[in-house]
Amino acid sequence: MWWVEVCAEFVLRPHHLKILEACCDAWDRMCASRAILLREGLVSATAAGDAKGHPAAVIERDSRAAFMAALRELDLDSEPRPADKRPVPIYSNRR
């Protein structure tokens, strides 16, 4: 589970945990939307017979953007910790 891996690798403050939770929620929503799209297709027919984009495509797009924004906010691109060291603290992505 990615949450556990991140928490083991980094020292996260309470506000970082909330960002991580938002990141994971967005990922889950994106994956659920993608599964719907794979099952039902990108386009659906209206009552008039016209084709329109599937609503799940918008949810997938927005969830992907939310995931990427939360991931950037976490700034997990620090060097991985050696096995014998403490987790890398995350101070801020504002440098």
Where do we find the tokens 């084709």?
51
E strands in 3-47 = 10-11, 43-45
For every residue of the chain, which 3-state class applies, written as one string? CHHHHHHHHEECCHHHHHHHHHHHHHHHHHHHHHHHHHHHCCEEECCCCCEEECHHHHHHHHHHHHHHHHHHHHCCCCCCCCCCCCCEECCCCCC
Pull the structure tokens for residue 22: 């938002």
**45-93: pLDDT as tens digits:** 888 888 899 999 999 999 999 999 999 999 888 665 566 566 666 665 5
Any idea where the domains of the chain sit in the sequence?
24-42+51-95
pLDDT at residue 89 in the model = 65
pLDDT above 60 for 36: yes
Q: How far is Cα 60 from Cα 88, in angstroms, rounded to an integer?
A: 32
